[in-house]
Amino acid sequence: MSKSCLESSTNLESCENIESQVSLESSLNLPTRSGFVATLGRPNAGKSTLLNHLLGENLALVSHKANATRKQLQIIVPYAPLNAQIVFVDTPGIHHQEKLLNQYMLSQALKAMGDCDLALYLAPITDDVKHYQHFLELYQGKHILLLSKSDTCSNEAILAKMAEYQKFDKHFLALLPFSVKKGFDRDLLLKTIASFLPQSPFYYDDELLTPTSTKEIYKEMIRESLFENLSDEIPYEADVMLKRFEEGEKLDRIFAEIIVEKQSQKGVVIGKGGSSIKRISKCAREKILALSPRSVYLKLDVSVYKGWSKQKDLLKKIGYDFTL
């Protein structure tokens, strides 16, 4: 397969040439393909937004606050034309900081690199190429280079940026521009990824969206709602701990705790007369209802854990169980 859409033309339509290099056989006659694909990139590269778009469901946490994703989340996307099952692994953004929480997040990204069959590196179209060079210092495995947020540039600017990356063509398997907003070819991206996966039985049932636990998904939806409603007011060091989850025949009962580091932050989360916590709870409940087949009761409390993001015992209590 061509490593770059630039090899045959200087027009974005040349990206379609990749399609002709993928087998046109009926998927009924093809062996199954399956594999794990780590989505990698700097904070706010658009990894979670991309995965939600490919899946057609809002499972991965999306926020304009950098480093919103803190744990790995697996998302399963089938690609029937190549009889493939792609297991995407959403990872925290690759960055280096001293805080213990940030070290944990980097360890999650590095682990995904080592465990995956293939990586998808997202580089926003406006990024300096030096960030991709830093990535290559960390990872020498098979990967596809995806220029995300391509809707922010003209076609001429996209082609110019692709030309900059062309000097690294020995490192990547394919180079593609992509934009969720502009609608660059979803099918082409999935076809390209699937064509590089190993022949293997499917790892999961066809109907499964994610092997990640329901509790973990709900926790992330509450955290997403927190950032959506208080992103500018609440600091990065805020999190959610699920205290109790009762799954009933007709009703799910969820009891969760929003964690902050200072008493003043607790007041911001609660709001005057409880206005903020009510808004956060309503938003989270609506997100959970969109996935749950049952009614949902959600109770949120707010607690102060001083310096939790810097203390291993508190990190483990909240759910970040790791060894550094």
- 270-288 burial, b at 16+ Cβ within 10 Å, e below that, comes to bbeeeebbeebbebbbebb
Residue 17 marked ligand-binding:
no
Q: Are 261 and 311 in contact (CB under 8 A)?
A: no
- 51-65, 110-124, 226-240, 263-277, range with the lowest pLDDT: 51-65
pLDDT at 220: 85
| Sheet (strand 239-247) strand order | 239-247, 251-260, 295-304
For 51, 53, 61, 260, the CA distances from 58, given in Å and listed in that order, are 9, 8, 8, 25
Encode pLDDT of 252-299 as tens digits. Answer: 999 999 999 889 889 999 999 999 999 999 999 998 998 888 999 999
Q: Are 218 and 285 in contact (CB under 8 A)?
A: no
Helix H, strand E, coil C: the string for 272-311 is HHHHHHHHHHHHHHHHHHHHCCCEEEEEEEEEECCCHHHC
* CA separation, residue 235 to residues 241, 263, 275, 290, 306 (Å): 17, 13, 19, 27, 13
Confidence of residue 322 (pLDDT cuts 50, 70, 90): low
Q: What local confidence, expressed as pLDDT, does residue 250 receive?
A: 92
pLDDT band at 23 (very low <50, low <70, confident <90, very high): very low
Rounded to whole angstroms, how far apart are CA atoms 198 and 212?
A: 23
Do 98 and 133 form a contact (C-beta atoms < 8 A)? no
Q: Do residues 302 and 277 lie in contact, with contact meaning Cβ atoms separated by under 8 Å?
A: yes
| 91 carries a ligand binding annotation | yes
Q: Is 46 annotated as a binding residue?
A: yes
309 is in an annotated binding site: no
pLDDT tens by residue, 108-139: 555 656 678 999 999 999 999 999 998 898 88
- The larger pLDDT score, comparing residue 182 to residue 54, is at 54
Q: If pLDDT is split at 50, 70 and 90, which confidence band does 70 have?
A: low
Report the percent of the chain where pLDDT is more than 70.
76
Q: Given this model, what pLDDT does residue 67 score?
A: 46
What integer is the mean pLDDT of 51-63? 67
253 marked as part of a ligand binding site: no
Q: Choose the CATH number for 5-195 among 3.40.50.300, 3.50.50.60, 3.40.640.10, 2.30.30.90.
A: 3.40.50.300
The reply to whether 212 sits in an annotated binding site is no
Q: In which element (H, E) is residue 124 found?
A: strand 118-124
On whether 163 is known to bind a ligand per the annotation, the reply is no
Query: Is residue 104 left, alpha or beta, with left meaning phi > 0 and alpha meaning psi from -120 to 50?
Result: alpha
Intervals of CATH 3.30.300.20 along the chain: 214-318
Q: Is the pLDDT of residue 143 over 70?
A: yes
User: Residue 21: what pLDDT?
Assistant: 44
Q: Where is pLDDT greater, at 111 or 96?
A: 111
Domain span(s) for CATH 3.40.50.300 in the chain: 5-195
Residue 256, annotated as binding a ligand: no
Determine whether the annotation assigns residue 150 to a binding site. Answer: yes
Cα 96 to Cα 122, 134, 235: the distances in Å are: 18, 11, 19
In the chain, the amino acid numbered 105 is: M
- Would the annotation count 41 as a binding residue? yes
Q: Give dist(CA 202, CA 33) in Å, integer.
A: 7
- Collapse the DSSP code of 36 into the 3-class scheme (helix H, G, I; strand E, B; otherwise coil) and give the result: strand
Which CATH superfamily groups domain 214-318? K homology (KH) domain (3.30.300.20)
pTM for this predicted structure: 0.71
Is residue 45 part of an annotated ligand binding site? Answer: yes
Mean pLDDT across the stretch 6-16?
Answer: 41
Q: What pLDDT was estimated at residue 46?
A: 77
The pLDDT assigned to 69 comes to 52
The neighbour count for residue 2, using CB atoms within 10 Å, is 17
